[in-house]
Structure 1
Amino acid sequence: MEIYIDGEWFDKENARVSVYDHGLLYGDGLFEGIRIYGGKIFKLKEHILRLFEGARAIRLELNLSLEETMAAVEETVRRNNRKEGYIRLLATRGRGPLGIDPFSCPRSTLVIIADDISLYPATLYKTGIPIITASTRRLSARIFDPRIKSLNYLNNILAKIEARDAGCPEAVMLSEEGYVAECTGDNIFIVKDGHLLTPASWHGLLEGITRNTLLELAEKKGIPSKETTLTRFDLYTADECFLTGSGAELIPVISVDKRMIGDGKPGPLTARMMKAFTELIYS
């Protein structure tokens, strides 16, 4: 495995950043998770655009242009001969002295890893997963804009701990007002009366690349879809439910807080969206 760090290549055992890197010390940085399907990088430009928008928002000066960053990602995939897999791209404030002052870091750090990822066992994509709603709330958009995909995921990790303690692989996080936002690493969809519904971005969720792809697919397939406000009641009474994300892809949900969704099996519209997504990524 060859890992990119600031223009150089290192094997896995020797790929290191400084303990004085502010990404490590303070979570000062951004990341993207990107899929590789059939030797092609899925939605690369969309991911890199999001990275650059996040960098502009937090005043993080990246050392490469957008085109150069895309080329570095492509070269990482080529060097590792990846036909399938997952890319983790990290952009940190870089090395600096102790103290949170971002302007004390003279140069940002860019890391690109191409590896495998498996968030859920393959069998669960056929049977579906149970999830819970976490008591840990999603950070309010009034406090921190969720469109900034930052390195600090402690809020999500605490909700993931709740899920694991409950014997579930995933948890739904509610907004400060109690509306459904997203899961710890995935966006969430429900099906109700043939309509595909997902929480609107103003409820404090990250607009995932896979989420937006599913909404585009629904429109092309003539499936009514809407970004809206959802509560736990809407989850409990849904006909179907599924999660989306670059890591998770699309996985069915069969229960929420021990309330069975539909007949407790992945539903027909979920199966249709899974098929459409698979056809898209390998087209």
Structure 2
Amino acid sequence: MQYHVGGELVDAADATLSVDDRAVAFGDAVTDTLRCYGGTPFAWGTHVDRLFDACAALEFDPGVDAADLRARVEETLAVNDLAEALVRLSITRGRGGDCSTPLPDAARHRPPTDPDPTVVVTATPVPDGRGPVRLQTVRTRALPTASVPAAPLTHARLDAVRAQAELRTAAPPDDDPADEALLLDADGHVVGGTASDPVFVDGEAIRLPALGDRPARTATRSVVRELADGEGLPVADVPCTPADVRAAEEAFVAEPSAGIRPIVSLDGVAVGGGPVTDLLSRLFAERVASTCR
């Protein structure tokens, strides 16, 4: 495998960042994962907007435009002979300044006035077996945007790491952990999964957890909204709790790798898909076929 690092293709074993790159030292970087079908990135514009908006929230210039970033993705896919792939895009603030100059510890956290961003593109084959998903609510709370703007798109993802660790420790000895964690905010409202966005349906509308100024965990949530709007289906952003999802008529997660996956259960309570989930899954497949095949 070869990855794109700092504008060059390098062997995966040599794809490294300096220990004083701010992504390594402080998690000072943005990232997003997208799905490629037939060698074409799906929902490319949405992903690019998310990345560049996250850079703006962290107040640094990405150092690339959308066309340059797209070219690096295509080069990475081509050199690895991958058509069906998950691609991770990362833009770090880089090293910046004179890193050889000793600085007090506090001053090292200060963003440089002359950042030198590093762009990293990796690609991996799409994982198998992306069927219905089991969700479990965790105690770990999602990072607040007041502390970390654009938190779901930064490298500072310890909330996701801790949530997945909870799933592993909570699983019975002879059972596998739940497939995905459900993260809440400090008030107990649903934010999203570690790498997915939950959506549920009641008798009145398709419900999306209200996020305020928090970006969604994935760009796929925006695609789901577009598809629902195109069919004239009512969509509402509402503060919701795990109990609302457990009581839903049907529920699913939106994620990059598989698009739409029914939620078979949340906290052991059966939920399942349904006609709306099936419709949106079909529309999603049609969108992929019309834009990527």
TM-score, normalisation: structure 1: 0.88
| Structure 1 residue 217 displacement after superposition | 0.5
Whether contact under 8 Å (2:82, 2:125) holds in the other structure is no
* Structure 2 partner of 1:275: 282
Alpha-carbon distance in structure 2 between the residues aligned to 1:38 and 1:248: 14
Quick one: which amino acid aligns to residue 267 of structure 1? Answer: G
> Which of 109, 132, 135 in structure 1 is aligned with 2:136?
132
Alpha-carbon distance in structure 2 between the residues aligned to 1:217 and 1:62: 30
Alpha-carbon distance in structure 1 between the residues aligned to 2:38 and 2:236: 31
State whether structure 2 residue 118 is matched by structure 1 residue 109: yes
Whether contact under 8 Å (1:48, 1:70) holds in the other structure is no
| Structure 1 residue 10 displacement after superposition | 0.7
* Structure 2 partner of 1:163: 167
| Residues 240 and 165 (structure 1), Cα distance of their counterparts in 2 relative to 1, 3 Å cut | farther
Using the TM superposition, name which of 203-212 and 175-184 deviates more.
Answer: 203-212
Q: Unaligned regions of 5+ residues in structure 1, if any?
A: none
Alpha-carbon distance in structure 2 between the residues aligned to 1:203 and 1:188: 17
State whether structure 2 residue 79 is matched by structure 1 residue 79: yes
Q: Unaligned regions of 5+ residues in structure 2, if any?
A: 100-104, 171-176
| Structure 1 residue 82 displacement after superposition | 2.3
| Residues 241 and 165 (structure 1), Cα distance of their counterparts in 2 relative to 1, 3 Å cut | farther
Whether contact under 8 Å (1:201, 1:207) holds in the other structure is no
* Structure 2 partner of 1:100: 109
Cα displacement string for residues 72-127 of structure 1 (whole angstroms, at most 9, x for unaligned residues): 22332233332110111111121364732321775221111122242xx51x51xx
| Residues 214 and 194 (structure 1), Cα distance of their counterparts in 2 relative to 1, 3 Å cut | same
Alpha-carbon distance in structure 2 between the residues aligned to 1:172 and 1:69: 31
> Which of 212, 224, 227 in structure 1 is aligned with 2:237?
227
State whether structure 2 residue 254 is matched by structure 1 residue 244: yes
Whether contact under 8 Å (1:208, 1:245) holds in the other structure is yes
Q: Percent identity?
A: 29
When the two chains are superposed, the root-mean-square deviation of aligned CA atoms in Å is: 2.2
Partner SS, residue 81 of structure 2: coil
Quick one: which amino acid aligns to residue 84 of structure 1? Answer: E
Quick one: which amino acid aligns to residue 211 of structure 1? Answer: R
Matches within 5 A, 1:50-61: 50-61=50-61
Whether contact under 8 Å (1:131, 1:163) holds in the other structure is no
Partner SS, residue 202 of structure 1: coil
| Residues 63 and 155 (structure 1), Cα distance of their counterparts in 2 relative to 1, 3 Å cut | same
TM-score, normalisation: structure 2: 0.86
* Structure 2 partner of 1:142: 146
| Structure 1 residue 207 displacement after superposition | 5.8
Quick one: which amino acid aligns to residue 143 of structure 1? Answer: S
* Structure 1 partner of 2:26: 26
